[in-house]
Amino acid sequence: MMDSIPILLVPGLGSSFRSYAPVAPALWPFGLVTVANHNRDDHMGAIARRILAEAPPRFALAGHSMGGYIAFEIMRQAPERVLKLALINTQARPDTAEASERRRAAIAHVREGGLHDVIDEMFPLFVHPSRAGDAAIRKLVHDMADDIGAEGFIRQQSAIIARADSRPTMASIRCPTLVLTGDQDKLIPNTLSKEMAESIAGAKLVIIADCGHCPQPEQPQATAAALAEWLRI
C-alpha cells in the first residue's frame, strides 16, 4: 500500500479551488488534497509564507501558472518541506517589461470595474484555439474571477510583476519534479517548460496534446494521469 502524502495545489492568476476540481478526484487516493488561498497578499514572499503557515509539515506541491511562481518561492523559503514538485504551465523567468506593462493596464481596467472585461480579453490566451468558444470553460474562468474578486486579482498581478527570477535556484531543487504543459500554450511557450525540465535534476517533462494554458479543465484525464504518475514516484 502506498504511503499517504498531503497534496497542496496552488492555482493560477484569477483562479480558485475550482481550477483543480476536474483532476482532484484522481489525486485523493494518494493523500489529503488542499487548494491554497493565494489572493490575500501582493508579494510572492508574503503569499508563500502564509501558505506555508497553513500547510501540512511536509507535502507534495503543484502550482499552475502563477501557482508555479509561488511554488518556486516556497522552494526558496522551505525546500525541506516539499516532498515532490509539479510545475504546470508556468515558467522560471521574471516578467518582461512588456508583460508588466500589460499587467498594469489590466490592473487599471479592473480598478474601474472591468474585471470580467479583462477576463474576456485574456480568455483566448487561456485555451487551445479549438476551445475559444467553449462556454463551460469560459463560465469556469468567470466564476473563478468572482471567487478571487477585483482586489484579489489586483494583489495577484502586483505580486507577479515583482516576482523573482527563479532560474538561479532551479539547480538546487532535488525532489521528484514534474514539468507539465499544453502543446499550444499561448501564454507560456513550451520552450520555457523545456528550460525548467532541463535545469532541474531528474525532472520529467510532459506536454499534453490538444491543450492550451489550462490543462485541468481542457484535458482533465491526461492531466490527472500525469499527476498520478508523479505522485507514485
CATH number of domain containing 132: 3.40.50.1820
Task: Check whether 233 has a pLDDT greater than 90.
Answer: no
> Rounded to the nearest 10 degrees, what angle do helices 115-126 and 97-111 cross at?
140
Between CA 189 and CA 166 the distance in angstroms is 17
Q: pLDDT tier at 153 (50, 70, 90 boundaries)? A: very high
Q: Where are the alpha helices (DSSP H) in the chain?
A: 24-27, 44-54, 66-77, 97-111, 115-126, 135-161, 190-199, 215-218, 220-232
32 CA to centre of own chain: 19
The total domain count for the chain is: 1
The parent domain of residue 128 ranges over 1-233
pLDDT value for 51: 98
pLDDT value for 1: 41
Residue pLDDT, tens place only, 10-38: 999 999 999 999 999 999 999 999 999 99
Task: Check whether 3 has a pLDDT greater than 90.
Answer: no
Q: Buried b vs exposed e over 133-167: b needs ≥16 C-beta within 10 Å?
A: ebeebbebbbebbebbebebbbbbbbbbbebeebe
* 20 DSSP assignment: G
pLDDT value for 2: 60
Residue pLDDT, tens place only, 172-189: 999 999 999 999 999 999
pLDDT value for 15: 97
Residue pLDDT, tens place only, 28-76: 999 999 999 999 999 999 999 999 999 999 999 999 999 999 999 999 9
Between CA 149 and CA 152 the distance in angstroms is 5
What pTM was computed for the model? 0.97
Question: What's the chain's average pLDDT?
Answer: 97
